[in-house]
Structure 1
Amino acid sequence: MTATHESPPRGAVAPALLVSAILLLALNLRGPIVAVSPVAGAIRADLGIDSATVGLLTSLPVLCFGLATPLASALLARLGVARGVLVALGVLLAGTVVRSVGGLPTAIVGTLLIGAAVTVGNVAVPVVIGRDLPQRAGAVLGLYTAALNVGSMITLSLTVPIAGATNWRIAVASWGLLGLASAALWWWATRRAVAGGPAAPAGTTVAGPVWWRRPVVWTLTAAFSGQAFAYYGVTAWLPQLLADERGMGVGAAGTASSVFQVAAIAGAVGVPVLLRVVPARVTVWVVAAAWLTLPLGLLVAPAAWAVWCALGGAAQGGGITVIFSLIVRQARDQAENRRMSALVQGGGYTVAAAGPLVLGALHESSGGWTVPLLAVVAAVLLLAGAGTLAARR
């Protein structure tokens, strides 16, 4: 068939500079979203809204990740990746400011702008890595995943002190400065591509079926759906589960559940090493096995919750890394890389947006945490099965 091939940017890009730009960009792809969590009480009191409405400020961006990916892919195809990311960072800055300056309507509008901007970054990064850093793709994807978690941790740690010295509006808006720094470094790293505009498409012949008919596209979508559903469901309910099952206070449970987030760095860095020494399908099995220790461990030995949170956290960091690595490996050209990335993330994040709701409903209907944890087991088994199929060359 005839496919559209996206040429690499004009002029060589210094790998170290580009990696630095990717990692600084990653700090902006989760931090602005979670910034409202530690000051949710102040936001609720100031805007006169309830807890469920405050929750929209963190759940709406995840829904954007799913629904806005076709638009993100189209934007990147039209403008080129370099310009598209700069536009997204501009929208991210605007959304961060708008969210902080008015009442509930402007907060919702700003949140949607942030979600749309982050979606563009989500789709763009695997494309850039696969195109410009193919020999280092696994390692850079691991560092990128780790940086996503670092961005969340930095934001969660510093927003409250900033709010204490100022107010929640300034604290939440202040993270726009990180976006400005990222835009400056991204422009510097990709300035030749930005100056030259989007690369002109060139025709190329790729043997095989139309990209969206390839089974690997749909198995990767299913695998990422299982990974993302488990991650967002556990992230939303782990503090409450620990409070209920271990008798922890709300604050202590929140701090304890941070183990799940911090450990992701180990998985994100470790999976690229595994991919170099064992087949991809074995890496998928290792990730899935570690993931399963969290729900099963909490069911049979909840006293060892710290061990299960650490293993599950490492697995969730490794899960996203191995899936993105498989996208880069399985895409036959750069246009297909972008389209596969958009479809896999769009489908996966749409499913993920239902994770907190589904686990909450199961907890409410069953009166305990056994059924929700079994739902997490099912999601991880989907990751394992579909990921194994996708890892076949």
Structure 2
Amino acid sequence: MNTLTHRRSAGSTALLFGILLIAANLRAPFTGLPPLLGAVQADFALSTTAIGALTTLPLLAFALVSPYSARLAREYGLERTLFGALAAIALGIALRSSGALWSLYVGTGGIGVGIAIGNVLLPSVVKRDFPHNVASLTGAYALAMGVAAALSSAMIVPMAHAAGWKSALAVFLVLPLVAMAVWTPQLSASTKSVSSTAGPAHGGKIWHSALAWQVTLFLGLNSTIYYSAVGWLPAILTDAGMPADHAGSLHGVLQLATAVPGILIGPILSRLRDQRLLAAVVAGFSAVALLGLMALPQFALAWSILFGIGTGAGIILGLSFIGLRTRNAHQAAALSGMSQCIGYLLAAAGPMAMGMLRDALGSWRVPLGLCAILALVAVFMGFLAGRERHVDA
């Protein structure tokens, strides 16, 4: 990162630090909840469908809000819109942990809205300010996402045992508040209505590009299997006879494993003009891990690590494709909105479908097998999306 250049008056170090802190908010407030779903369900006497909605609601928010994120950035500037996203996450966390049933759902939805905006606009900031270091910086902020999520998953159950699940969820408020404090100096340099920063929500010809759909499906399928597994892994493992604390720890191991590719993928991508083989291989890792969880759950530690590496690398590649397959920040914002809108619509269906199948069949084998098939489809999409082309070619 020593070679990164910054075209704005604010120092590049401050901007990089702000980007990494924003990234730390884009997964942990969501993935920290699944280990506590049992406690939440018992406290409010919720049905399986009702508790499953808590994992689906943010993903629906991701899908619904993503297409409009670029429009918000065009109207108010990337910096101010990202600050607003952090404020939405903070408010959502406060509501979710306040103790009322209505605020649990409203707060969870608010967290999803804030994360959706950050998911879409952070690649656009990277493309605009660091166009020659898209892969390495994407890897760095994916690492920040993974580490924050891993720490939250590992610590959330012990904190809930010590102080209750509401207090444990309230601790996440530290993340957006710190990020807002660090990001505040960027507001003075806020860009507004500049064509090189963010484009309109519909993305123009992006939606008619075959390559854009290949990137979208690669990212979407990866997100579907990731959020399905993350949402239900503790339940899958406890159903297999594992103690809840151990299942929560493996949930954290999976999150930490997603951070590992952030160290490795950036340097690899910087040397590759064609990413077809890499994309196919990492999606294959996810398929093998899902089949392993289905057939040999006693080796859950190995499968959790392999799955985390596969999906973590898939997320980095998918986000990198947004910058690598486009020519400017305008296109990057449009492709980011498209890929995350469609991708999270797919991802929203995953956890709910897995829960319904589990209730209907009494086993996780079929849901895990279907996720493995989706991972194999992602292998093919990654091979197509990894070609050295641009969406307007």
Aligned counterparts, 1:67-216, within 5 A = 67-101=64-98, 103-160=100-157, 162=159, 166-188=163-185, 190-194=186-190, 197-201=191-195, 210-216=205-211
2:234 to 232, 236, 239: 239
CA distance in 2, matches of 1:309, 1:202: 40
In structure 2, C-alpha distance between the alignment counterparts of 1:237 and 1:41, rounded to whole Å: 11
How far has the Cα of 1:202 moved from its partner?
A: 7.0
Structure 1 CA distance for aligned equivalents of residues 254 and 261 of structure 2: 11
Whether the aligned pair in 1 keeps the contact of 2:136 and 2:270 (CA below 8 Å) is no
Q: Which of residues 285, 304, 313 in structure 2 aligns to 1:318? A: 313
The answer to whether the 8 Å contact 1:9/1:192 transfers is no
Q: Report if aligned partners of 2:195, 2:330 keep a CA contact under 8 Å in 1.
A: no
Structure 1 match to 2:200: none
Helix, strand or coil at the partner of 1:210: helix
**Whole-Å separation in 2 of the counterparts to 1:337 and 1:98:** 33
Please state how far the C-alpha of 1:138 moved relative to its aligned partner.
0.9
Shift of 1:129: 0.9
- 8 Å Cα contact 2:281/2:379 also seen in 1: no
Match of 2:375, SS state, is: helix
Which of 322, 325, 330 lines up with 1:327 in the alignment? 322
Q: Which moved more, 1:290-299 or 1:325-334?
A: 290-299
CA 1:255–1:277 in structure 2 vs 1: closer, same or farther (change >3 Å)?
same
Gaps spanning 5+ residues in structure 1: where? 1-7, 204-208
Counterpart AA for 1:124: L
CA distance in 2, matches of 1:40, 1:371: 22
SS class of match (1:134): coil
Secondary structure of 2:19's partner?
helix
CA-to-partner distance for each residue in 1:158-207, whole Å, 9 max, x for gaps?
4455556655444433432321210121122x24423xx5143379xxxx
Q: How many residues align?
A: 377
Q: Secondary structure at the match of 1:319?
A: helix
Partner of 2:201: none
Partner SS, residue 242 of structure 2: coil
The match for 2:224 is 229
Structure 1 residues 237 and 34 mapped into 2: Cα distance closer, same or farther (>3 Å)?
closer
How many Å separate the matches in 1 of 2:83 and 2:196?
A: 24
Give the match for residue 289 of structure 2.
294
CA spacing shift, 1:147–1:11, aligned 2, 3 Å: closer
Give me the TM-score of the superposition, normalised by structure 2.
Answer: 0.86
> Alpha-carbon deviation of 1:309?
2.2
* 1:15 partnered with 2:12: yes
By how many angstroms is 1:69 displaced?
0.9
Query: How far apart, CA to CA, are the structure 2 residues paired with 1:155 and 1:351?
Result: 25
List gaps (5 residues or longer) in structure 2.
Answer: 198-203
1:387 to 382, 386, 390: 382
**Residues 149 and 265 of structure 1 are in contact (CA less than 8 Å); yes or no, is this contact kept in structure 2?**
yes
TM-score (norm 1): 0.86
Do 1:11 and 1:192's aligned partners in 2 also have CA atoms closer than 8 Å?
A: no
Residue identity (%): 32
Match in the other structure for 2:245: 251
* CA displacement, residues 108-134 of structure 1 (integer Å, 9 cap, x when unaligned): 222222111111111111111111112
Which stretch shows the higher mean deviation, 12-21 or 309-318? 12-21
User: Following the alignment from structure 2 to structure 1, what is the Cα–Cα distance between the partners of residues 284 and 165?
Assistant: 41
Q: Find the aligned partners of 2:48 and 2:61 in 1 and give their Cα distance.
A: 21
Q: Greater CA deviation, 328-337 or 340-349? A: 328-337
Which whole-Å CA distance do the structure 1 matches of 2:29 and 2:236 have between them?
26
- What CA distance in whole angstroms lies between the structure 2 residues aligned with 1:363 and 1:320? 26
Structure 2 distance, partners of 1:54, 1:9, is: 45
Which amino acid in 2 is paired with 1:296? L
The residue number in structure 1 matching 2:342 is 347
User: Structure 1 stretch 381-390 or stretch 256-265: which is displaced more?
Assistant: 256-265
CA positional deviation for 1:348: 0.6
- In 2, Cα distance between the equivalents of 1:87 and 1:299? 41
* Conservation of the 8 A alpha-carbon contact between 1:268 and 1:314: no
Change (3 A) 1:359 1:96: closer
Partners of 2:295 and 2:31 in 1: CA distance: 31
Measured after TM superposition, the shift of residue 9 of structure 1 is 9.4
Answer whether contact 1:34 1:152 (CA < 8 A) is retained: yes
Alpha-carbon offset, residue 65 of structure 1: 0.8
Quick one: structure 1 residues 137 and 254, their matched pair in 2 at CA, closer, same or farther if it must change by over 3 Å?
Answer: same
- Range that drifts further, 363-372 or 114-123: 363-372
Q: Distance in 2 between matches of 1:11 and 1:301?
A: 53
